[in-house]
Amino acid sequence: MEANAQKAPARISSRTRSERKLAWMLCAPAVIAMLAVTAYPIGYAIVLSLQKLDLRFPELTEFIGLGNYGTVLSSELWWTDIFNTLFIMAISVAIELVLGMALALVMHRAIFGRGLVRTAVLIPYGIITVVAAFAWQFAFAPDTGFVNHLPLISEEMDWFGGRFSSFAVIILAEVWKTTPFMALLLLAGLVTIDSQLYEAARVDGASAWQRFTRITLPLMKPAILVALLFRTLDGFRIFDTIFIMTRGAQDTESVSILGYNQLISRLNLGLGSAVSVLIFFCVFIIAFIFVKGFGVKVDEGRAG
Amino acid sequence: MSEIVLDGVTKVFDDGYEAVKDMNLDIGDGEFMILVGPSGCGKSTALRMIAGLEDISSGELKIDDEVVNDRSPKDRDIAMVFQNYALYPHMTVRENMGFALKLAKVDKEEIDRKVSDAAATLDLTKHLDRRPANLSGGQRQRVAMGRAIVRDPKVFLMDEPLSNLDAKLRVQMRTEVARLQSDLKTTMVYVTHDQTEAMTLGDRVAVMRAGVLQQVGSPGDLYSRPRNLFVAGFIGSPAMNFMIGQIDGGKLKLPIGEVDAAGVAGAEHDGRVIVGIRPQNFEDATIVGEAKEERGIIFEADIDLLESLGSDLYAYFHVETEGIQSDQLADLVASRLEETGAAGLREGQEQVVARLEPTSEVRRGQKAQLWADTAKLHLFDAESGERLGE
Amino acid sequence: MERRDTRDYAVWSIAIALVLLFALIPVVWLLSISLKPPSEVTDGRFIPASFSLDNYKSLFEGGFSNSPFIKPLINSILIALITTVIAITLASFTAYAIARLEFPGKRLILAGALAIAMFPPISTVGPLFDMWRALGLYDTYPGLIIPYLTFSLPLAIYVLVAFFREIPWDLEEAAQVDGATPFQAFRKVILPLAAPGVFTAAILVFIFAWNDFVFSISLTSSDASRTVPAALAFFTGESSFTEPTGSIAAAAIVVTIPIIVFVLFFQRRIVAGLTAGAVKG
Q: What is the pLDDT of residue B316?
A: 92
Mean of the per-residue pLDDT values of chain C: 85
Question: Stretch B189-215: mean pLDDT, rounded?
Answer: 92
Among A287-296, B60-69, B203-212, where is mean pLDDT lowest?
A: A287-296
Of residues B124 and A59, more confidence is placed in B124
Domain C60-275: what homologous superfamily?
MetI-like (1.10.3720.10)
Q: Average pLDDT of B326-340?
A: 62
CB contact set of A229 (below 8 Å; sequence gap of 6+): A287, A290, A291, A296, A298, C118
- Whether residue A20 and residue C104 make contact (CB cut-off 8 A), yes or no, is yes
> Which residues in C lie closer than 8 A to residue B74 (C-beta atoms)?
176-181
Provide, as residue numbers in chain C, all residues whose Cβ is less than 8 Å from the Cβ of B52.
176-177
Task: Classify each residue of B9-33 as buried b or exposed e, where b means 16 or more C-beta atoms within 10 Å of its C-beta.
Answer: bbbbeeeeeebbbbbebebeebbbb
Query: Are residues A26 and A82 both part of a single domain?
Result: no
> What region, left, alpha or beta, does residue C165 occupy, with left being phi > 0 and alpha being psi -120 to 50 degrees?
alpha
Is A145 in the same domain as A217? yes
User: Is a pLDDT exceeding 80 seen at residue B341?
Assistant: no
The pLDDT value given to residue B29: 92
Is the pLDDT at B343 greater than 80? The verdict is: no
Q: pLDDT averaged over chain A?
A: 84
Q: What is the pLDDT of residues C45-91, one digit of tens each?
A: 888 888 888 888 888 887 777 788 899 999 999 999 999 999 999 99
Q: Confirm or reject contact between B348 and chain A (CB < 8 A).
A: no
Condensed to tens digits (0 to 9), the pLDDT of residues B29-87 reads 999 999 999 888 899 999 999 998 888 989 999 999 899 888 888 888 889 999 888 88
Is there a domain that residue A70 lies in?
A: no
Query: CATH 1.10.3720.10 spans which residues of chain C?
Result: 60-275
Average pLDDT on C160-189 reads 85
Instruction: Decide if B82 and C175 are in contact by the 8 Å CB cutoff.
Output: no
Grouping H, G, I as helix, E, B as strand and the rest as coil, residue B311 is coil
CATH number at residue A243: 1.10.3720.10
Domain of residue A150 covers 76-293
Q: Check whether residue A49 and residue A104 sit in a common domain.
A: no
Q: Report the residue of chain B nearest C102, measured CA to CA.
A: B14
**What chain C residue is nearest to A29 in terms of C-alpha separation?**
C90
Please report how many Cα atoms fall inside a 13 Å half-sphere around the Cα of residue A100, on the Cβ side: 31
| C192 reaches B (C-beta below 8 A) | yes
Distances in Å between the alpha carbon of C142 and those of A201, C123, C151, C211? 57, 19, 14, 17
Answer yes or no: is A69 within a domain.
no
b/e code C254-267 from CB counts within 10 Å (16+ = b): bbbeebbebbeebb
- Whether A58 and A81 map to the same domain: the answer is no
- Distance from C-alpha of C126 to C-alpha of C122, rounded to nearest angstrom: 8
The answer on A33 and A89 residing in a single domain is no
Q: CA-nearest residue of chain B to C184?
A: B103
| Residue finishing a domain among A37, A63, A89 | A63
- E strands, C144-247, are none
Q: Please, what are the domains in chain B?
A: 4-233 (3.40.50.300), 238-381 (no CATH)
* Number of Cβ within a 10 Å radius of residue C41: 24
CB A50 within 8 A of CB A64: yes
Which residues in A lie closer than 8 A to residue C96 (C-beta atoms)?
26
| Distances in whole angstroms, Cα of residue B130 to Cα of each of B124, B127, B134, B164 | 10, 5, 7, 21
Candidate from B53, B100, B151 with C-beta closest to C173: B53
**Partner residue facing B14 (CB), from A1, A7, A16:** A16
Nearest to C232 by CA among C218, C252, C246: C252
A56 and A84 within one domain: no
Q: Which of B115-129, B327-341, C102-116 has the highest mean pLDDT?
A: B115-129
> Between chains, do C94 and A31 touch, taking CB under 8 Å as contact?
yes
The answer to whether residue B100 neighbours chain C at the CB level (below 8 Å) is yes
- pLDDT of residue B180 exceeding 50, the answer is yes
pLDDT at B176: 87
Q: Are residues A146 and A269 in the same domain?
A: yes
Res A178: pLDDT: 92
pLDDT at B188: 93
pLDDT at B338: 47
Percent pLDDT > 90 in chain B is 33
Mutation target for B interface from C169, C171, C176, C177: give the one with most B CBs within 10 A.
Answer: C177
Interchain pair A276, C110: CB under 8 A: no
Confidence check: pLDDT of C228 > 60: yes
- Chains interfacing with C (3 or more CB pairs < 8 Å): A, B
- Which has the higher per-residue pLDDT, C273 or A203? A203
Helix, strand, coil percentages, rounded to 5, for chain A: 75, 0, 20
pLDDT of C182: 77
Query: Residue B124 to residues B81, B97, B142: CA-CA distances in angstroms?
Result: 17, 11, 8
Q: What is the pLDDT of residue C280?
A: 35
The yes-or-no verdict on residue B140 having pLDDT over 70 is: yes
Cα distance between the two ends of chain C? 38
The total number of structural domains in chain A stands at: 2
- Assigned domain for A91 exists: yes
From chain C, pick out residues whose CB is under 8 angstroms from the CB of A239: 122, 213-214
pLDDT band at A9 (very low <50, low <70, confident <90, very high): very low
Q: Which residues from C are below 8 Å from B103, CB to CB?
A: 178-180, 184
Q: Do C194 and C160 contact (CB within 8 A), yes or no?
A: yes
Q: What is the pLDDT of residue B342?
A: 47
Looking at the structure, do residues A101 and A207 belong to the same domain, yes or no? yes
- Please enumerate in sequence order all residues whose Cβ is within 8 A of that of A107, keeping only pairs 6 or more positions apart, or say none: A114, A117, A118, A121, A183, A187
Distance between CA C231 and CA C139 in Å, rounded? 13
Is C280–A297 a contact, with Cβ atoms under 8 angstroms apart? Answer: yes
How far is the CA of B221 from the CAs of A11, B17, B235, B384, in angstroms?
38, 32, 11, 21
| Chains with ≥3 CB–CB distances under 8 Å to B | A, C
Q: Which residue of chain B comes nearest to A5, CA vs CA?
A: B58
A51, A55, A302, best to mutate vs chain C, most C CBs in 10 Å: A302
CB contact under 8 A, B74 and C178: yes
The whole-angstrom distance between C239's CA and the closest CA on chain A is 18
For B237-262, the pLDDT digits (tens) are 888 998 888 887 778 888 888 887 76
What distance in Å separates the CA atoms of residue B371 and residue B354, rounded to the nearest whole number?
A: 10
Is A4 in contact with B14 (Cβ distance < 8 A)? no
pLDDT per position as a tens digit, C165-174 = 888 888 888 9
B78 and chain C in contact, CB less than 8 A: yes
Interval A189-230: pLDDT, tens: 888 888 888 888 888 888 888 888 888 888 888 889 888 988
pLDDT value for C2: 46
Chain A residues inside the 8 Å CB shell of B55: 11-12, 15
Helix axes C70-100, C191-211, angle to 10 degrees: 140
Q: What is the pLDDT of residue B381?
A: 86
A149 in the same domain as A23: no
How close B86 comes to chain C (CA, Å)?
Answer: 5
Domain-ending residue, one of A63, A93, A116: A63
Please tell me whether residue A155 adopts helix, strand or coil conformation. coil
Closest CA–CA distance from residue C64 to any residue of chain A (Å): 23
Residue B269: what pLDDT?
62
> Last residue of a domain, which of A42, A63, A84?
A63
Q: Are residues A135 and A82 in the same domain?
A: yes
Check whether residue A42 and residue A114 sit in a common domain. no
Residues of A with CB under 8 A from a CB of B: 1, 4-5, 7-9, 11-12, 15-16
Residue A35 pLDDT grade (very low, low, confident, very high; cuts 50, 70, 90): confident
Subunits with 3+ C-beta pairs closer than 8 A to A: B, C
Q: Which residues have a Cβ under 8 Å from the Cβ of B54 and sit 6 or more positions away?
A: B11, B45, B48
**Average pLDDT estimate for A291-303:** 58
Chain A contacts of B12, Cβ < 8 Å? 8-9, 12
pLDDT class of A94 with cuts at 50, 70, 90: very high
Residues A117, A234, single domain; the answer is yes
Distance from CA of B11 to the nearest CA of A (A): 9
